[in-house]
């Protein structure tokens, strides 16, 4: 598999150097491997930190800036960051009002963020955590590690970031993030696996006429394999899964994210969005806002995810406030 890399071992660090070159408005610390908003820490403002394995760009580094994250800590590809990194990011954005961690629900992420929160607590920083677990492909039972955090993470980070900007308390910021997660449901399908730089090969082989249904964002196989079907059927599968897991009453207002996993052209994402929008309309669900594009990716995986997030007027107002980050910007 051909890739734009120099050395598979240094992909994350060299990509960070590129982010630093492209975005002088951010502070990128190559040593600590963190991306920090240039005006952090701001006195009296809650710091918002997220992070996770690399390979999901623009998540999370692309969402650092006014109105969203104060810092991001990217780990190795598909590997959660280490506690030292998370602690460094937490300290860099602590303006005395506490710090909120947005953590996607994966065993490794949860453990490393917990360790970092403990270390930060020892140093007198009050840390609150929002756990994101919106992927309804995984059953939420004691027999699994619980649902994965995927597309709703972006909405959590935008809404929590907007509230943090107003001077709200850490508890309030975390509660708003948790409310978004509560109302969010995601489901993904893939047409081809992704290639991790260090391995150079695919996580799984998929015949030309088949698709993986219920995949995550780490190249792992999905819940099941099915014959490839037309886009309208795949859209219906995703809408049914999402509404089946978190039913919405007619007239509900939502934010809908039709997200590419990295290797699917925008033309196909728009085609899918059209199908999804029609199906949601038929179900009486109102799409108040939407995003179509590659936001929570899985390297070069060909695939797409649907996130439907129920919102009230307050969450919608927070979604609409100005944001200025590399990957999400409006109102400024």
Partner 1 sequence: MDAALARAWVSAVAASVASQAELLTQLDAAIGDSDHGVNLNRGFTAVLAALDSASFETPGEVLVRTGTTLVSKVGGASGPLYGSAFRALGKALGSSSTVDAAAFGAGLRAGLDAVRKLGGAAPGDKTMVDAYEPAVAAFEKAAGDGLAAAARAAADAAAEGMRATTPLQARKGRASYLGERSVGHQDPGATSTWLVFEALAAAAA
Of 170, 73, 178, the closest CA to residue 128 belongs to: 170
Would you call 128 a catalytic residue per the annotation? Answer: no
Q: Is 139 in the site for partner 1 (CB under 8 A)?
A: yes
Q: Is 198 in the site for partner 1 (CB under 8 A)?
A: yes
Whether residue 184 contacts residue 133, with contact meaning beta carbons closer than 8 Å, is answered with no
Smallest separation (angstroms) from partner 1 to the CB of 73: 10
Q: CB atoms < 10 A from the CB of 284, how many?
A: 11
Among 13, 27, 223, 329, binds partner 1 (CB under 8 A): 223
**Of 56, 60, 101, 128, catalytic:** 56
Q: Is 56 in the site for partner 1 (CB under 8 A)?
A: no
Smallest separation (angstroms) from partner 1 to the CB of 53: 8
Q: CB atoms < 10 A from the CB of 97, how many?
A: 20
- Which range binds partner 1 by CB under 8 A, 23-31, 70-78, 150-158, 239-247? 70-78
Q: Residue 180: is it exposed, middle or buried by C-beta count within 10 angstroms (0-12/13-18/19+)?
A: buried
* Helices 266-282 and 231-245, packing angle to 10 deg: 50
From first CA to last CA, the distance across the chain in angstroms is: 40
Among 18, 201, 265, 322, binds partner 1 (CB under 8 A): 201
Q: Is 305 in the site for partner 1 (CB under 8 A)?
A: no
Among 81, 177, 260, 262, binds partner 1 (CB under 8 A): 81
Of 138, 119, 152, 135, the closest CA to residue 50 belongs to: 152
Residues that bind partner 1 (CB under 8 A): 53, 75-84, 106-108, 111-112, 115, 137-139, 142-145, 148, 196, 198-199, 201, 203-204, 216, 218-221, 223-224
Catalytic residue list? 56, 218
């Amino acid at each position: 598999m051909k890739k734009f890399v120099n050395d598979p071992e240094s992909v994350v660090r060299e990509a960070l150097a590129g982010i630093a070159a492209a975005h002088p408005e951010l502070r990128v610390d190559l040593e600590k491997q963190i991306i920090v908003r240039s005006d952090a820490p701001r006195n009296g403002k809650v710091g918002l930190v997220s992070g996770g394995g690399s390979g999901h760009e623009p998540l999370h580094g692309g969402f650092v800036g006014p109105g969203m994250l104060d810092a991001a800590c990217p780990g190795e590809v598909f590997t959660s960051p280490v506690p030292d990194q998370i602690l460094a990011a937490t300290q860099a954005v602590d303006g005395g009002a506490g710090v909120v961690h947005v953590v996607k629900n994966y065993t490794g992420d949860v453990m490393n963020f917990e360790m970092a929160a403990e270390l930060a607590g020892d140093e007198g920083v009050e840390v609150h955590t929002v756990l994101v677990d919106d992927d309804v492909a995984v059953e939420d039972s004691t027999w699994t590690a619980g649902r994965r955090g995927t597309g709703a993470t972006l909405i959590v980070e935008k809404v929590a970031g907007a509230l943090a900007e107003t001077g709200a308390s850490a508890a309030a910021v975390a509660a708003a993030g948790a409310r978004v997660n509560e109302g969010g449901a995601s489901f993904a399908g893939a047409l081809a696996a992704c290639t991790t730089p260090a391995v150079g090969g695919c996580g799984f082989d998929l015949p030309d006429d088949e698709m993986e249904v219920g995949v995550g964002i780490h190249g792992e196989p999905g819940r099941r394999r099915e014959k490839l079907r037309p886009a309208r059927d795949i859209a219906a599968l995703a809408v049914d899964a999402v509404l089946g897991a978190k039913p919405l009453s007619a007239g509900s207002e939502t934010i809908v994210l039709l997200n590419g996993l990295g290797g699917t052209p925008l033309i196909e994402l728009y085609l899918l969005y059209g199908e999804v929008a029609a199906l949601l309309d038929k179900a009486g669900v109102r799409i108040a806002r939407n995003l179509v594009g590659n936001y929570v990716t899985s390297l070069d995986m060909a695939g797409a995810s649907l996130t439907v997030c129920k919102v009230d007027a307050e969450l919608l107002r927070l979604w609409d406030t100005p944001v200025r980050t590399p990957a999400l910007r409006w109102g400024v």
